């Protein structure tokens, strides 16, 4: 079996005619290797592997993307120490990440202007087939989601990880859309005021929360109190206790008081969304569906995931802070952030010839923004 497609067995990995097609002024083999997971080789991976897509067609600013790469690599220097590498080896983890930058150029012109994916193929030489075989084998013949070590993956599009506290923005949107933020600030905040752990907090109908969730301080590594437990301060301080409590309030199966089990689970998605509006808000924002960047060129980002089934209150609490089975890509969270900025749910464009796509107009109120 031929591992490398026939075009790659010639003198260069990218045929000259294809290299010219990719860019009028830039030969692909001259591109900074740090951008290869994004731009690609023009044949088998990356954006330019799509039919008739060239660098000149993209809204990407290559020089800006290089600056993003510079900043990213400077930030992660401490994580590349011998000690940190040994720690990752013990836990069978790798250092990976993705950055995506959006720019608003006006009506229907929300653009992707910068991307960087890490790790990247530092030693890959597209002009030498032997340098290419190992990585192209990983990328082409293995499931990319199960092959986390492939340095050719565009992680800005397909790296699904637990979003953690960034997901509190989604929980906040659900809280505002249901009117629970005001209710929590006025009536329920006193039940969590000063608490370091959600466990034991008073809940609806004089019940008590019986699940642990603590605030964690990155400043000193210890738990901290939920002081001034308003939404504004809790969002600023990223209090887990507040957002775990908000997630419980959002679940209507707990309207009559806290309970550990949420069984039986309704079979219809519509009913589950009514029971737990956070499921609906996540779906509206783009979770659980492919993100179509360009329909004409078939540029599609895999879906981020938000669970649709909740059998335990613990799962509800953890989902409210971006844990449990929540997983999101950098692209998905960029769309969430832009929704807060513009109030519209909008899919950015990557090709100059396209328009960005407004999915829902005025999704959040101006007062919420």
Q: Which pLDDT score, from 0 to 100, does residue 218 have? A: 65
Q: Within a domain: residue 112?
A: yes
Question: Does 223 share its domain with 87?
Answer: no
What confidence tens digit (pLDDT) does each residue in 254-265 have? 999 999 999 999
What confidence tens digit (pLDDT) does each residue in 109-152 have? 999 999 999 999 887 776 666 667 667 766 765 554 556 678 88
Question: Does 187 share its domain with 318?
Answer: yes
DSSP assignment letter at 202: B
- CA neighbours within 13 Å on the CB side: how many for 43? 22
Q: How far apart are CA 316 and CA 11, in angstroms?
A: 56
Q: Within a domain: residue 350?
A: no
Q: Which pLDDT score, from 0 to 100, does residue 5 have? A: 42
Please determine, for residue 14, whether its predicted confidence score (pLDDT) is greater than 80. no
More confident position, 131 or 157: 157
| Domain end (from 134, 158, 182) | 158
Q: Which pLDDT score, from 0 to 100, does residue 349 have? A: 97
Strand partners, 357: 347
Please determine, for residue 353, whether its predicted confidence score (pLDDT) is greater than 80. yes
Question: Does 109 share its domain with 240?
Answer: no
Question: Does 139 share its domain with 212?
Answer: no
114-118, 165-169, 216-220, 265-269: which has the minimum mean pLDDT? 216-220
Q: Which pLDDT score, from 0 to 100, does residue 24 have? A: 45
Under 8 Å between Cβ of 115 and 101: yes
CA of 157: how far to CAs of 268, 288, 290, 348, in Å?
Answer: 30, 14, 10, 12
Q: Which pLDDT score, from 0 to 100, does residue 143 have? A: 53
Question: Does 190 share its domain with 307?
Answer: yes
What confidence tens digit (pLDDT) does each residue in 227-261 have? 999 999 999 999 999 999 999 999 999 999 999 99
Average pLDDT for the chain: 88
Q: Within a domain: residue 139?
A: yes
Question: Does 114 share its domain with 215?
Answer: no
Q: Which pLDDT score, from 0 to 100, does residue 124 have? A: 77
More confident position, 133 or 352: 352
60-74, 80-94, 241-255: which has the minimum mean pLDDT? 80-94
Q: Within a domain: residue 101?
A: yes
Please determine, for residue 10, whether its predicted confidence score (pLDDT) is greater than 50. no
Q: Within a domain: residue 267?
A: yes
Q: What is the CATH number of the domain that holds 169?
A: 3.40.710
| Domain end (from 123, 139, 158) | 158
Question: Does 113 share its domain with 180?
Answer: no
Q: Within a domain: residue 361?
A: no
Question: Does 340 share its domain with 203?
Answer: yes
Question: Does 184 share its domain with 331?
Answer: yes
Domain count, the chain: 2
Please determine, for residue 11, whether its predicted confidence score (pLDDT) is greater than 60. no
Q: Buried b vs exposed e over 260-272: b needs ≥16 C-beta within 10 Å? A: eebeeeeeeeeeb
Q: How far apart are CA 15 and CA 37, in angstroms?
A: 19
Q: Within a domain: residue 261?
A: yes
Q: Which pLDDT score, from 0 to 100, does residue 141 have? A: 57
**Domain hosting residue 263, numbered range:** 164-345
pLDDT > 90 fraction of the chain, expressed in percent and rounded: 70
Q: How far apart are CA 87 and CA 308, in angstroms?
A: 34
Question: Does 174 share its domain with 319?
Answer: yes
Question: Does 207 share its domain with 98?
Answer: no
- This prediction's pTM: 0.89
Question: Does 234 share its domain with 332?
Answer: yes
């Amino acid at each position: 079996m031929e591992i490398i497609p026939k075009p790659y067995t010639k003198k260069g990995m990218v045929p000259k005619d294809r290299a010219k097609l990719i860019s009028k002024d830039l030969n692909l083999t001259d591109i900074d290797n740090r951008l290869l997971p994004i731009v690609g080789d023009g044949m088998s991976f990356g954006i330019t592997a799509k039919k008739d897509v060239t660098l000149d067609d993209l809204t990407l600013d290559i020089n800006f993307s290089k600056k993003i790469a510079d900043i990213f690599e400077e930030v992660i220097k401490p994580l590349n120490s011998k000690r940190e590498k040994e720690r990752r080896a013990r836990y069978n983890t790798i250092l990976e990440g993705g950055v995506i930058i959006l720019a608003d150029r006006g009506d229907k012109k929300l653009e992707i202007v910068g991307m960087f994916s890490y790790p990247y193929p530092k030693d890959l030489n597209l002009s030498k087939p032997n340098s290419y075989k190992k990585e192209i084998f990983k990328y082409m013949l293995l499931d990319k989601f199960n092959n986390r070590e492939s340095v050719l993956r565009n992680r800005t599009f397909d790296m699904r990880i637990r979003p953690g506290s960034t997901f509190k923005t989604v929980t906040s949107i659900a809280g505002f859309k249901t009117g629970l933020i005001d209710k929590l600030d006025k009536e329920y905040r006193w039940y969590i005021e000063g608490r370091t752990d959600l466990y034991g907090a008073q809940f609806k109908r004089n019940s008590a929360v019986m699940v642990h969730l603590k605030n964690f301080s990155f400043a000193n590594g210890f738990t901290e109190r939920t002081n001034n437990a308003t939404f504004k301060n809790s969002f600023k301080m990223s209090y887990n206790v507040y957002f775990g409590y908000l997630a419980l309030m959002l679940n209507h199966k707990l309207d009559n008081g806290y309970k550990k089990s949420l069984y039986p689970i309704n079979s219809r998605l519509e009913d589950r969304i009514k029971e737990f509006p956070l499921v609906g808000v996540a779906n509206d924002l783009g979770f659980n569906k492919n993100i179509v960047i360009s329909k004409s060129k078939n540029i599609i980002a895999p879906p981020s995931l938000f669970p649709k089934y909740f059998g335990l209150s613990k799962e509800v609490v953890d989902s409210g802070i971006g844990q449990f089975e929540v997983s999101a890509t950098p692209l998905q969270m960029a769309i969430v952030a832009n929704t807060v900025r513009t109030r519209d749910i909008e899919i950015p464009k990557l090709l100059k010839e396209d328009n960005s796509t407004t999915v829902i107009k005025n999704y959040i109120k101006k007062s919420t923004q």
